[in-house]
A and B are shown apart, each in its own frame.
Chain A
């Protein structure tokens, strides 16, 4: 192959700038502007990969990333498309999917055994006898592998951004350029998305009306106007990879995912050129006409071996003439048709000295004796029914360019709900039933000649503008007439060969007989054909296989192509790196105002929902000792814990008491001001949903705590209930406004007194369950005497920005009393010793109040609370389980949360909490048991690790301080 660079060829390259990279270890010289594939082709390297199933050598087919024949590997990533991958100095590229070497692939033997690998082979062969797949799988996966992930590569920084547009134009060919320009001129904000590095689409490589000069100057004028336009954002080398609801378009631009929200979408996505199905149509050197155009016009690579063009339409003649103009030796045009749209083309072929075979096809392509590529094609006459007849001639050639027509790039439109219907007169699929705000133009809309494509683009923009409410002006004008009469698709481009290897799907190595057999086996539905044969499942996602498959299945099952249809198009359009989806990941993290103080004190932090909380303080090596020391401090001296994560809800207004009464199970109307009450919330189904402590601050003022994980839901439910009830109150989620600590232990009173507390803390003035507002260390605080850990204790809720100061003051003054911060691990044990349940841990989505002995917290005298009716109904039936306390000797196997409770061989419940209590020197826990076993003294069986049964004794809770004397001190 040689290179040309002039006004008409080699548009994208700069031969003065050379680039060197390696392919399979060998040095390759390319030029600036090359892709890896074009540089390899310029060096005569046609074989660039091996096929998936038979390991046949493969080379570029489309040269635009629409086939899987160019999947290559770099040190950092597998499965890159060589025809999209820019050639760069020092790049190390390797081929994929071979055993041995690319040119001598040992797995190539699979091709010779191909007749033993019928369609559906994998489903049939590897699953009997049972279990054999485990043996086969690694072998099959290696043979069918698509590259190797390099696990040591550091993930790149993948970015995401939102973007906005009035009009998104997807595809910057002649239709897209015209659409974008007209919409922008009328004042719309336009985003123009193009997969290739440059704008222009087919205008870059196709000689419309046989005139590249005029095509190019039209393209240059449009591109200049667009690049200078302030209303147009141009995104090149960018793929719009899906269409999601309300025109939400994920666009991949290198390592950035752009989430574009458009008001209108214009799809000018073009179409995929279709191949002719004949024997060995997959040989390296057999390409689409557009690929040959691209090779010469964009990269200036001129084939040195003779070229044959296999035409199913007039457009293929343009390719033949273009390549001759560029210096290629065009030996022949083989035209599948007997009649032309434009007889002038055959005259020109003759004038140019190109042999013309009309009403003929290529029956077989032959591989060179010493090369992997094409060396010869056999031209056969076709009879009037299109069947292969006598052989006319064999032609030596190194490149065959074919065009059987075009398939609209329908994927984005169909993802949005559009429908494909087959038009028998044009042998084309056409899109209809577009969703609101979506418009088509150009070859995706079955329009092919340049002036009509451009007009179609402008028409789409007019529709979009009209939907946006932008009135037409003189330039916008009114819709232009676009009639689609051009015949570009050949109706039956199949030349079945008794020896097969006429590929329908190159990705999956599927031949004509595979599709026919699948249909004959009863898989009539195209979706079933796909799943059984894997047609269209490869990386090119049916761009080339969908149309021939539909035609073959239709014929085999005696239906129309329209009835047969194509399989569902789903996102993504192109394979996308998972790293892009993960992107710059957001992990929202909540920190209390004391976060850094905890770290300074050596806390081991643990996640609690989105919060970070201290698990315990100290060296992880001495975890148990640390936790036990914290427990001891609380039981014997004084401890302090950050409970800022507790939810807080403020209820104010004349209906606040009534609202409390309706939401929570207890009675709250007569709750005295300055007192707290335990507050349980059931949902409408009568299930225990949350709990907390309600403090009455004033006649019309309550402050209620909620669980850390439950508060958002409780707050939302409160707002929703009151949107219906319309009671007069304000509901505020003050979780973050207030931070809280709990000072607990026999010495807690002394500690708080020592930091200048404005209220009398004696039991007489501030008894258990009382609430007071006070100034502590000069800081305004809501104080509650609550007993979650079962010792004398005070919970102090203060404005969050002041919490740091309060904590510092208490720790400083508390030093004399041996104050010790404790974490959630110690707190869990302390509360378990008191038998206090944690909603969500000791309850589940089915827990009714009676099961957890909360009947005392339900007022039976209220007319209503949320869940009251359901609780009444549930209480009529006998309980199926009950939560009880149990204990085991200190040396018993220790049950874990979730371990099962077994009764007469049946599962009756499970353990919800279990710890070793150093205070009691026992293992204690809570578990659901059969109600008959809920009597203290009963023995229940818990299945612990390794199926060891532990015989636990049901006991009354609290385990510790059963008369609750300590918390009331």
Chain B
């Protein structure tokens, strides 16, 4: 069984982890075309190379980012999500919300 290194808990069997999909930047949902949005929702990077992925260590519910080579399955490195997502994300302010 493969080992993955959790930035919080160290190296563990891959069975302790949950895959969370590729890291994808969400397009501006108010200005994106329907086609581009569908592309964002349904398509994943599938060319050979290093992909950025969400993984969660299940016993600690800790989400982090893994850089993995999708052909060799080598995990190049893992790091906490806050190294990638440093800023608070806001959407356009609510008006007249009930």
Is there any pair of Cβ atoms, one from A and one from B, under 8 angstroms apart in the complex? yes
Tell me the nearest residue of chain B to A873, going by C-beta. Answer: B34
Distance between Cα atoms of A861 and B96 in the complex (Å): 7
Q: Which of A178-186, A355-363, A722-730 contacts B (4 or more CB under 8 A)?
A: A722-730
Provide the residues of chain A in CB contact with B94, threshold 8 Å.
Answer: 661, 669, 861-863
Are B98 and A861 touching (Cβ within 8 A)? yes
Are A724 and B85 touching (Cβ within 8 A)? yes
Distance between Cα atoms of A733 and B58 in the complex (Å): 13
Are A868 and B97 touching (Cβ within 8 A)? no
| Interface: B82 (CB within 8 A) | yes
Provide the residues of chain A in CB contact with B41, threshold 8 Å.
Answer: 684-685, 870
Report which residue of A245, A248, A684, A723 has the largest number of chain B beta carbons within 10 angstroms of its beta carbon: A723
Partner of B2 from A245, A661, A685, A873 at Cβ < 8 Å: A245
CB proximity of A467 to chain B, nearest CB, Å: 15
Partner of A662 from B18, B32, B42, B91 at Cβ < 8 Å: B91
| Interface: B76 (CB within 8 A) | no
CB proximity of A390 to chain B, nearest CB, Å: 58
Distance between Cα atoms of A891 and B79 in the complex (Å): 63
Distance between Cα atoms of A719 and B81 in the complex (Å): 11
Distance between Cα atoms of A725 and B90 in the complex (Å): 7
State which residues 1-37 of B face A: CB under 8 Å: 1-3, 13, 18, 20, 29-30, 32, 34, 37
A723 with B81, Cβ < 8 A, contacts A246-B2, A667-B98, A715-B61 known:
yes
Provide the residues of chain A in CB contact with B32, threshold 8 Å.
Answer: 869
Are A667 and B37 touching (Cβ within 8 A)? no
| Interface: A244 (CB within 8 A) | yes
Per-residue CB contact flags for chain B residues 58-98 toward chain A (1 = under 8 Å, else 0) read 00010100000000010000000110011111011111111
Partner of A720 from B30, B54, B89 at Cβ < 8 Å: B54
Are A726 and B2 touching (Cβ within 8 A)? no
CB proximity of B37 to chain A, nearest CB, Å: 5
Provide the residues of chain B in CB contact with A587, threshold 8 Å.
Answer: none
Provide the residues of chain B in CB contact with A873, threshold 8 Å.
Answer: 34, 37-38
| Interface: B50 (CB within 8 A) | no
Number of A-B contacts defined by CB within 8 Å: 80
| Interface: A122 (CB within 8 A) | no
CB proximity of A859 to chain B, nearest CB, Å: 7
> Which range contains the number of B residues in contact with the other chain?
20 to 34
Distance between Cα atoms of A923 and B41 in the complex (Å): 40
| Interface: A670 (CB within 8 A) | yes
| Interface: B56 (CB within 8 A) | yes
Are A720 and B97 touching (Cβ within 8 A)? no
Are B92 and A863 touching (Cβ within 8 A)? yes
Distance between Cα atoms of A716 and B56 in the complex (Å): 8
CB proximity of B55 to chain A, nearest CB, Å: 10
Tell me the nearest residue of chain B to A683, going by C-beta. Answer: B41
Distance between Cα atoms of A750 and B41 in the complex (Å): 51
Are A726 and B88 touching (Cβ within 8 A)? yes
CB proximity of A878 to chain B, nearest CB, Å: 16
Are B97 and A716 touching (Cβ within 8 A)? no
| Interface: A864 (CB within 8 A) | yes
Are A716 and B29 touching (Cβ within 8 A)? no
State which residues 291-338 of A face B: CB under 8 Å: none
A246 with B56, Cβ < 8 A, contacts A670-B97, A861-B94 known:
no
Provide the residues of chain B in CB contact with A667, threshold 8 Å.
Answer: 97-98
Provide the residues of chain B in CB contact with A868, threshold 8 Å.
Answer: 29
CB proximity of A870 to chain B, nearest CB, Å: 6
Are A869 and B91 touching (Cβ within 8 A)? no
- Give chain A's interface secondary structure class: mixed
Provide the residues of chain B in CB contact with A720, threshold 8 Å.
Answer: 20, 54, 56, 63
Distance between Cα atoms of A868 and B1 in the complex (Å): 39
CB proximity of A186 to chain B, nearest CB, Å: 23
User: Number of A interface residues, CB 8 Å?
Assistant: 31
Provide the residues of chain A in CB contact with B93, threshold 8 Å.
Answer: 863
State which residues 733-759 of A face B: CB under 8 Å: 733
CB proximity of A572 to chain B, nearest CB, Å: 15
Per-residue CB contact flags for chain A residues 642-686 toward chain B (1 = under 8 Å, else 0) read 000000000000000000011000010110000000000000110
Partner of B89 from A248, A670, A725 at Cβ < 8 Å: A725
Provide the residues of chain B in CB contact with A246, threshold 8 Å.
Answer: 1-3
Partner of B91 from A685, A716, A733, A864 at Cβ < 8 Å: A864
Are B92 and A724 touching (Cβ within 8 A)? no
Provide the residues of chain B in CB contact with A662, threshold 8 Å.
Answer: 91
Partner of A861 from B2, B85, B86, B95 at Cβ < 8 Å: B95
Distance between Cα atoms of A727 and B82 in the complex (Å): 12
Provide the residues of chain A in CB contact with B3, threshold 8 Å.
Answer: 245-246, 261
CB proximity of B89 to chain A, nearest CB, Å: 4
CB proximity of B65 to chain A, nearest CB, Å: 9
Partner of A862 from B13, B42, B97 at Cβ < 8 Å: B97
Distance between Cα atoms of A864 and B94 in the complex (Å): 9
Are B61 and A719 touching (Cβ within 8 A)? yes
Distance between Cα atoms of A670 and B94 in the complex (Å): 11
Are A670 and B98 touching (Cβ within 8 A)? yes
Distance between Cα atoms of A245 and B82 in the complex (Å): 29
Per-residue CB contact flags for chain A residues 848-888 toward chain B (1 = under 8 Å, else 0) read 00000000000101111000111001000000000000000
Tell me the nearest residue of chain B to A668, going by C-beta. Answer: B97
Are A244 and B1 touching (Cβ within 8 A)? yes
Distance between Cα atoms of A485 and B42 in the complex (Å): 58
Are B29 and A864 touching (Cβ within 8 A)? yes
Distance between Cα atoms of A67 and B24 in the complex (Å): 53
Are A719 and B63 touching (Cβ within 8 A)? yes
Distance between Cα atoms of A864 and B25 in the complex (Å): 16
Provide the residues of chain A in CB contact with B13, threshold 8 Å.
Answer: 248
Partner of B1 from A248, A685, A869 at Cβ < 8 Å: A248
Tell me the nearest residue of chain B to A713, going by C-beta. Answer: B18
Provide the residues of chain A in CB contact with B38, threshold 8 Å.
Answer: 873
Tell me the nearest residue of chain B to A259, going by C-beta. Answer: B1
CB proximity of A855 to chain B, nearest CB, Å: 15
Partner of B30 from A685, A715, A863, A870 at Cβ < 8 Å: A863
Are B2 and A723 touching (Cβ within 8 A)? no
CB proximity of B52 to chain A, nearest CB, Å: 13
Distance between Cα atoms of A724 and B87 in the complex (Å): 8
Distance between Cα atoms of A909 and B97 in the complex (Å): 36
Distance between Cα atoms of A667 and B88 in the complex (Å): 21
Tell me the nearest residue of chain B to A669, going by C-beta. Answer: B97
Distance between Cα atoms of A400 and B73 in the complex (Å): 49
Partner of B88 from A244, A661, A685, A725 at Cβ < 8 Å: A725
Tell me the nearest residue of chain B to A876, going by C-beta. Answer: B34
CB proximity of B14 to chain A, nearest CB, Å: 8
Distance between Cα atoms of A661 and B61 in the complex (Å): 23
Tell me the nearest residue of chain A to B14, going by C-beta. Answer: A245
Q: Beyond the given A245-B1, A727-B88, could you list 18 further A-B residue pairs with CB under 8 A, ordered by the A residue number?
A: A246-B3, A248-B1, A248-B2, A661-B94, A667-B97, A685-B41, A716-B20, A716-B56, A719-B61, A719-B63, A720-B54, A720-B56, A724-B85, A725-B85, A861-B96, A862-B94, A862-B97, A873-B34
What are the 3 tightest A-B residue pairs by CB atom distance, in nearest-first order?
A723-B81, A245-B2, A869-B29
Chain A to chain B contacts (Cβ below 8 Å), 23 pairs: A248-B2, A248-B13, A261-B3, A669-B97, A715-B61, A716-B18, A716-B20, A723-B63, A724-B89, A725-B89, A726-B82, A726-B85, A726-B87, A733-B61, A859-B97, A859-B98, A861-B98, A863-B30, A863-B91, A869-B32, A869-B37, A870-B41, A873-B34
